[in-house]
Structure 1
Amino acid sequence: MNRIAAALALGFASVLGGCAGYTDTPVASAAVAEQRAPVTILVSIDGFHPDYLERGLTPTLSRLAGEGARAAMRPSFPTKTFPNHWTLVTGLVPDHHGIIANRMEDKTRPDEAFTMATVDPYWWNEAKPVWVEAEEAGIRSAAMFWPGSAVAWGGTAEGYGPVPDGTMASDWQAFSMQVTNTQRVNSVLDWLRRPAEIRPEFVTLYFDTVDSAGHGGGPVGEEIDEALRDVDSHIADLLAGLESLGQPANLVLVSDHGMAPTGSNKMIVLDEIVDASLYRAVESGAYATFEATEGNTAALEAALLRDHAHMECWRKGEIPARYQYGTHPRIPPYFCLPDTGWTITTRASDATWSGGSHGYDPFAPEMASLFIAHGPAFRSGVTIETFQNTAITPLLRHLIGLPQAARADGDLADVADALAAQN
């Protein structure tokens, strides 16, 4: 039982207050004797813009937001999935924790590239996730599909195998799209059904379906609406399962970024701006990164570092300071950022398409991310000021009883207005 959670176990009356909707069932009554301490559950709904709560499609999430604390959270840059999920559990911006993109390269590993399937600890070892620190402190953790949860932190490529030589959550599952949202929720509830000595005190849970729908059909339309209904129903299933277990919970529900509409009518074609022989593109899409080909640095800079319609380009060391990005050696030498909703591509195409994208300016309203905090540790019915997602790790450390980290880009003070008075 962790230090903070133990103090919050106020008997069955507070259990009822922790997750609204509890009823006096025989199962819940049987749990009274155990007086379970609140579990901390971090839930990511990838690509969930906070305005989605206003569509009338998410009664469970909207109720949690109304009964708890909420905010429009600002993601870190770039507003991509893996950089922001690692920020949420390390408290560092991507420029400091090393997961600087969904796809990246490292000059010390010239024959390979990082992708979203990479679990080699080499790429992840610059920042310790909160579940590793919890495990080191004797606080049992479990991770359902969180990006990086299948990595043996601190290990080596040579030692990564059936018995990794690094540290992981006590329980974890590697991401698979074949595992349904129902199976994900049921796995979390199964972990919480265990005897106290092997029951997690900190859990992460990840849903990707809202993001997938947003990419496919854009942030408005039946495709995204159906995904919102579905994920809301699974949050309701999670709450019902917690109720049946008599398990109070401090829920922290977040997203990694929002979603902007885009399409073939908002394309920036690099071949129309710079000769393809002058550069090698590392990434393109919601932003683009480049290296000059041999002997072509001056020519590439002359083409890139000038005024462009709907796009700005910089040397990595000259990226505006507000993005907190540009010092890490994995960031390529040149970076171009389009207006929100525009797409950078290397070649022209006659295809007509529409959808959604992210990766843009984190201060753009379309990129705002979700924050809902609900449970005995939090105030009820408050909306707090927008804050950067680097504050989520300090909040989690507080909830599970870890001291605050010396190395951090966020601060618990950034979310203090969400906490109940005794916290």
Structure 2
Amino acid sequence: MSRLSTTCLALAAALGVASCVATPVSKQPVSQSAVVSASASQAAPPDLVILVSIDGFSPDYLGKGQTPVLDGLVAGGAFGPMRPSFPSVTFPNHYTLVTGLHPDHHGVVGNRFTDAQLGAFTMASKETGFWDQAEPIWVTAEKAGIRTGTMFWPGSEVEIHGVRPSHWMPFDQSMPGDARVDRVLSWLDLPADQRPKLETLYFDIVDTAGHRYHPGGAETQAAVASVDASMGRLVEGLKARGLYDRTMLVVVSDHGMAATSPDRVVWIDDIIDPAALKIGYGGAVLTADPAPGREAEVQAKLVGRHPHMECWNKADVPARLVYGSNPRVAQIVCLVETGWLTATRDRPVTRSGGAHGYDNQAPEMAAVFIAHGPGVVAGRRLTDLDSVDVQPFLARMLGLDAPAGDGRAADTLPVTTP
């Protein structure tokens, strides 16, 4: 049994629902379209699709008393722990969710990276060129004449392939969760010819708390409860508009969170002079390029196995990570043991907290997938889900012919209640 299957079974027991249904493990991810019942193809499509991301939300947060709304969606819909893409960080995985492509294929290969022509990318970058190696679902929808509204989703603030969402807002971290929900609901009150059929909604406070405190800390649990309350506001707002029973709610996260400590640090200085490296990304995953003239030193000292870390030249990154072919990936990629961090002596780790970016198969990095709406079989439990499968599912719900990605876009086997 896979580690994600174990997580699913534990959650099912915690919620008091039917046990997970194991899907055969294959080289291809299992399509999220499997959550729809056999009769769904005859049923009317949903009038509205809302994709909700709760950044840094682990499946382990469900079923423990803080999430009555989300637990209700799980019990009345389909659920599975979901494998993120590597590196298991925010921007790459959010773009994977809406493009169906791994970061190596959609081009947003990290929260920070360098493009040879465009220069350095950060989470504040707004240049279109960083995003145009792929087509997000809102662009596909807009091109097909379906209006969309995006609430803070990474990539939604820029014009991609000449298209923007009909409604969008620049990211404002200070905007409370309830205010975000109210804005999404307000778009549904527009005249019919302006109203979105696809909306996205993003919450970040669970990730922020998990980093600052601890994935199991009281502050993190409070953030989980706050987002759940905002989800309750969304559900009630849909009910008040007569839309709840005609809405496909898809709740996902981009990754989980692992506990970290100053006692679990890989010191780069103990391996190589940090001046020999141009570090692109550090912490839970390390990417770096050799400094000019120090290539041989980097090959000799950094590439290879180290305690709690293994480093490869990008061409040699294990195939299962699907990472290393994009020109934006740094020359050296290091996989850090889950729960450990890389650091240099001049910028030490001084406090415990949480981090992500680790091996995407680590159970601590598991993301969440919930689907609730027309045609979804209540109580369906799925395993071996992959984040690249979300975009094909969204496209199917919207009746769109979306660009082919790394997920399985075809309709899958009929689903029966467990």
- When normalised by structure 2's length, the TM-score is 0.86
Bigger relative CO (Cα 8 Å, ≥ 6 apart): 2
1:1-400 equivalences under 5 Å are 8=43, 38-109=47-118, 112-154=119-161, 166-247=162-243, 248-347=246-345, 352-400=350-398
Task: Tell me how far 1:327 sits from its aligned partner.
Answer: 0.3
Please give the alpha-carbon distance, in whole angstroms, between the structure 1 residues aligned to 2:382 and 2:143. Answer: 32
Please give the alpha-carbon distance, in whole angstroms, between the structure 2 residues aligned to 1:346 and 1:418. Answer: 51
- The one-letter code sitting in structure 1 at the alignment partner of 2:112 is R
Question: Which stretches in structure 2 are left out of the alignment for 5+ residues?
Answer: 1-39
Task: Using the TM superposition, name which of 211-220 and 350-359 deviates more.
Answer: 350-359
CA contact (8 A) 2:265 2:349 kept: no
Task: Tell me how far 1:9 sits from its aligned partner.
Answer: 5.0
Please give the alpha-carbon distance, in whole angstroms, between the structure 1 residues aligned to 2:349 and 2:151. Answer: 38
Question: Which stretches in structure 1 are left out of the alignment for 5+ residues?
Answer: 11-36, 155-165
Please give the alpha-carbon distance, in whole angstroms, between the structure 1 residues aligned to 2:400 and 2:296. Answer: 50
SS of the residue aligned with 2:79? strand
Task: Tell me how far 1:178 sits from its aligned partner.
Answer: 1.9
Task: Tell me how far 1:285 sits from its aligned partner.
Answer: 0.7
Q: 1:113 to 1:278 in 2, by over 3 A?
A: same
Q: 1:139 to 1:7 in 2, by over 3 A?
A: farther
Task: Tell me how far 1:347 sits from its aligned partner.
Answer: 2.1
Please give the alpha-carbon distance, in whole angstroms, between the structure 1 residues aligned to 2:372 and 2:163. Answer: 29
CA contact (8 A) 1:8 1:38 kept: no
CA contact (8 A) 2:279 2:287 kept: yes
Please give the alpha-carbon distance, in whole angstroms, between the structure 2 residues aligned to 1:353 and 1:234. Answer: 30
Q: 1:167 to 1:7 in 2, by over 3 A?
A: farther
- When normalised by structure 1's length, the TM-score is 0.85
CA contact (8 A) 1:384 1:418 kept: no
- The one-letter code sitting in structure 2 at the alignment partner of 1:411 is R
Please give the alpha-carbon distance, in whole angstroms, between the structure 2 residues aligned to 1:395 and 1:415. Answer: 11
Please give the alpha-carbon distance, in whole angstroms, between the structure 1 residues aligned to 2:57 and 2:414. Answer: 23
Task: Tell me how far 1:195 sits from its aligned partner.
Answer: 2.2
Q: Runs in 1 of length 4+ with deviation above 4 angstroms?
A: 5-10, 348-351, 413-420
CA contact (8 A) 2:257 2:356 kept: yes
Please give the alpha-carbon distance, in whole angstroms, between the structure 1 residues aligned to 2:275 and 2:101. Answer: 36
Q: 1:410 aligned to 403, 407, 410, which one?
A: 407
Q: 1:417 to 1:318 in 2, by over 3 A?
A: farther
CA contact (8 A) 1:69 1:418 kept: no
SS of the residue aligned with 1:408? coil
Task: Tell me how far 1:218 sits from its aligned partner.
Answer: 1.2
SS of the residue aligned with 1:412? coil
- Work out the percentage of aligned pairs sharing the same amino acid: 46
Q: 1:288 to 1:205 in 2, by over 3 A?
A: same
SS of the residue aligned with 1:54? coil
Deviations 1:297-320 (A, max 9, x none): 111111012331000000000000
